[in-house]
Structure 1
Amino acid sequence: MHAFSCVEDYRRAARRRLTKLAFDYLEGGAEDGDALRRNRDAFAQWGFAPRVMTDTSQCSSATTFWGRDAAAPMAVGPTGLNGLFWPKADERLARAAADAGLPFVLSTASTSLLEDVRAAVPDGEMWLQLYVQQDRRIAESMMRRAREAGFRTLLLTVDTPVHGKRDHDTRNGFKLPLRMTPRLIADCMRHPHWSWQMLAYGAPQLCNIAKSVGERADLARHAAVLSRQMDLSLGWDDLTWVRRHWPGEVLVKGIQTVEDARLAQAHGADGIVVSNHGGRQLGSTLAPLEALPPIVEAVSARGPAMAVFLDGGVRRGADVAKAVALGAKGVLLCRAPLYGVAARGGEGVAGVLALLLGELHTTMQLLGCANVGELTSQRLARLPAIQANQANPL
């Protein structure tokens, strides 16, 4: 079997295996993809400033989140409709995360019941990502079920009052439930392994939404609940409502400005996730890594430190090191584990996480950092823009 040397290898394998419709849903961003590209490019703006002749013989990437151990400042982040990429993908993602010693964040839009994910991975550290619909009883049900299943941290996603414009989905006719057009049938014929799995296991359903709505699985209806029926009135004072239903940590996910970071802190959030939703909402925004330093500075200057996480564009262990050095408590891995599950199922997720953990460890040793606490801004340098060489005509 072909050996994968980096996350990009898994991305290419996922592209080969998935239909165009499925891969574009995984890979695509909003509008022209400017924010999506910027998320990756932001990491290239920073270079390392390594220190040598330091003892890294006992180098460790281990950290803690609210007193609970993690193998690295990483978590497998929330992604929806994962059953489109592999059957029982949420269970496979959660299992690989637990085996790697990392938290797993389950999406409201998961295609497996949160109870089934917990049953499949009873030993895993699990967090829940929450969308709030107009009928708040749905979110209240989701929180109750997650509490009963032993989920400990809640990520309240606030950057998706409506879905961003995604041209690729329009071009592909991506609409839930999927309709078998001649174009899709031809695409399926070119990707027999994916097509066989979809036939054998059935089309993915938004099971968690269905259970909390109290209805049988109905993909068309529950996709509408998730998109067109979001609560547009959700405000900062509603963190009090969330606290009434959630005793654990509460993170606000989707923060992109200093002003909103301060408001999250003022309203008692335990943490925030600096995120532009993977470049899938607004087509043109700052990359989370660009927004991170001023946000960290702002919240650090106001009393007790609030945990600041980041997602978007992480494809290397070196990216994790850069985010932590710029002040992030940790990063959420989103597309990278999906490339793994789309390429090879659970084995692929395990492979991606092993690569990222290994790269982070190597990066830390080469930087002269024996532990995560030594990853500071002093180990980074802003790189000057490199001008393309103009070749002289012969």
Structure 2
Amino acid sequence: MIQRQLPKPRDLAPLMQFKKFDFNASRRRLNAALTIEDLRKIAKRRTPKAAFDYTDGAAEGELSLSRARQAFQDVEFTPSILRDVSEVDTSTQIFGGSSAQPFGIAPTGFTRLMQTQGETAGALAAGAAGIPFTLSTLGTTSIEDVKAANPDGRNWFQLYVMKDREISYKLTERAAAAGFDTLMFTVDTPVAGARLRDTRNGFSIPPALTPSTVINAIPRPWWWYDFLTTPPLEFASLTSTGGTVGELLDKAMDPSINFEDLKVIRELFNGKLVVKGVQSVEDARKLADLGVDGVVLSNHGGRQLDRAPVPFHLLPDVAREVGNDLEVTIDTGIMSGADIVASLALGAKFTFIGRAYLYGLMAGGRIGVERAIEILSQQIERTMKLLEVSSIEELEPKHVMQLTRLVPRV
């Protein structure tokens, strides 16, 4: 027989603790987000379709992006057992300096379009978290303003070699003068990819909005208030070069870029030189022989060549080939801390988040970016503890199996 009794208030009290209500709607909304996908859903609700799709979309059929994300999902972890992981160190060394986490913020263009705080929010959040922030040539905050926002953090600059080479040379010199310690020389944009979502939304230079785009934007007054009451969108580091946004975009991509341009930039910049957009073992080997400091395995987030190689698939071969000669890093498709841990185990020295950071920005400005960083950091630590490794250096290929989905036909 089960003995029953009336519950006593003192016994019920510990079981009836209600969560304290947070009257700050933004903080309440962001704290409810437990994954980057949760932040993406908030961002989609709060941002007009044209701006959201500019961030969320990729080129043509968006196969490169979907395959990159699928590659991370097709991972099986192999944990160790009976190891002390009461303390886990997520810090790492990359490009001559330290980072509190094994990821940094990737360069993104037109960032203030997504949310008016733009790169300033990213730089502030990165500095507070102790991770690097990378500014794009097509950023909407200037080199000098990013430095002012993040004076003691690690600021990096992503460089497009423009048709007017003098513009690129001057940007390189300004980044060096502002104390940016790493330059990302981008090589995967001889021309712009066909981003069909943008075309369908009328997101062009100049804009050619459709009625559906306007109707979608009307219920988001907070976005319009921010957009209309802050300085106009511009490529902030390029304002002194003259021309409209459209003309500057046309100058930014040059199909004649070649290895001689890399040599000139190397001579102009005395910090670390990293080549972004590497998509083959052969090219990684050539760059290692030329003495660059690192490469970013990247297909530009799937925004350039659709059906491009999946960086995560390429990673083990590149790491084996050149990992002792330069630092191999990776971006494209990262949506969780587990994705980052898997990359590190297969040979990446560091990783970059682009969309994941922008989803946080659109969801809540600077505090949204901080929430994105917090989510990824927690996931990294938890994954490492479950794998029973206590530092980044302990992660090895034995911890990860890449499950096969797409197999080349011989």
TM-score (norm 2): 0.89
The answer as to 2:367 corresponding to 1:338 is no
* 2:328 counterpart residue number: 308
- The 1-side partners of 2:196 and 2:254 are apart by 24
Contact persistence 2:68–2:332 (CA under 8 A): yes
Q: CA deviation at 1:191?
A: 1.8
Contact persistence 2:387–2:399 (CA under 8 A): yes
Per-residue CA deviations over 1:278-334 (Å, capped at 9, x if unaligned) read: 00111112211011111111114xxx5210000011111111000000100010111
Which amino acid is the alignment partner of residue 200 of structure 1?
T
1:163 to 189, 192, 202: 192
Contact persistence 1:163–1:281 (CA under 8 A): yes
2:388 to 368, 375, 380: 368
2:258 to 208, 218, 235: 235
* 1:277 counterpart residue number: 300
SS where residue 105 of structure 1 aligns?
strand
1:72 to 101, 106, 122: 101
Which amino acid is the alignment partner of residue 280 of structure 1?
R
Contact persistence 2:202–2:209 (CA under 8 A): no
2:343 to 302, 323, 341: 323
* 2:251 counterpart residue number: 225
- The 2-side partners of 1:241 and 1:224 are apart by 22
* 1:120 counterpart residue number: 149
Q: CA deviation at 1:202?
A: 4.3
Q: CA deviation at 1:222?
A: 2.0
Per-residue CA deviations over 1:237-275 (Å, capped at 9, x if unaligned) read: 332201111001101100010111111111111100000
Per-residue CA deviations over 1:12-48 (Å, capped at 9, x if unaligned) read: 0110111111111000011111111001000122111
- The 2-side partners of 1:45 and 1:274 are apart by 19
Contact persistence 2:124–2:149 (CA under 8 A): yes
Q: CA deviation at 1:203?
A: 3.7
* 1:144 counterpart residue number: 173
Q: CA deviation at 1:344?
A: 0.1
Contact persistence 1:236–1:264 (CA under 8 A): no
Q: Which structure 1 residue ranges, 4+ long, deviate > 4 Å from structure 2?
A: none
Which amino acid is the alignment partner of residue 249 of structure 2?
A
* 2:140 counterpart residue number: 111
Contact persistence 2:203–2:209 (CA under 8 A): no
The answer as to 2:287 corresponding to 1:264 is yes
What is the root-mean-square deviation in Å for CA atoms of aligned residues? 1.4
More off after superposition, 103-112 vs 262-271: 262-271
Gaps of 5+ in 1: 386-394
Q: CA deviation at 1:66?
A: 3.4
The answer as to 2:278 corresponding to 1:210 is no
Q: CA deviation at 1:224?
A: 2.5
- The 1-side partners of 2:402 and 2:246 are apart by 47
The answer as to 2:83 corresponding to 1:57 is no
1:36 to 65, 79, 86: 65
TM-score (norm 1): 0.92
Gaps of 5+ in 2: 1-27, 406-410
- The 1-side partners of 2:402 and 2:69 are apart by 15
Contact persistence 2:298–2:330 (CA under 8 A): yes
Contact persistence 1:80–1:110 (CA under 8 A): yes
Which amino acid is the alignment partner of residue 121 of structure 1?
N
More off after superposition, 360-369 vs 202-211: 202-211
1:190 to 219, 232, 235: 219
Q: CA deviation at 1:218?
A: 2.9
- The 2-side partners of 1:202 and 1:183 are apart by 26
* 1:348 counterpart residue number: 368
- CA separation of 1:137 and 1:50: change in aligned 2, threshold 3 A: same
The answer as to 2:323 corresponding to 1:294 is no
* 1:377 counterpart residue number: 397
- The 1-side partners of 2:404 and 2:170 are apart by 51
Contact persistence 1:310–1:328 (CA under 8 A): yes
Per-residue CA deviations over 1:211-234 (Å, capped at 9, x if unaligned) read: 3x2x3x7323223322xxx23222
Contact persistence 1:308–1:327 (CA under 8 A): yes
Which amino acid is the alignment partner of residue 345 of structure 2?
A
More off after superposition, 275-284 vs 374-383: 374-383
The answer as to 2:114 corresponding to 1:85 is yes
Which of the two has higher C-alpha Rg?
2
| Corresponding residue pairs, total | 376
* 1:389 counterpart residue number: none
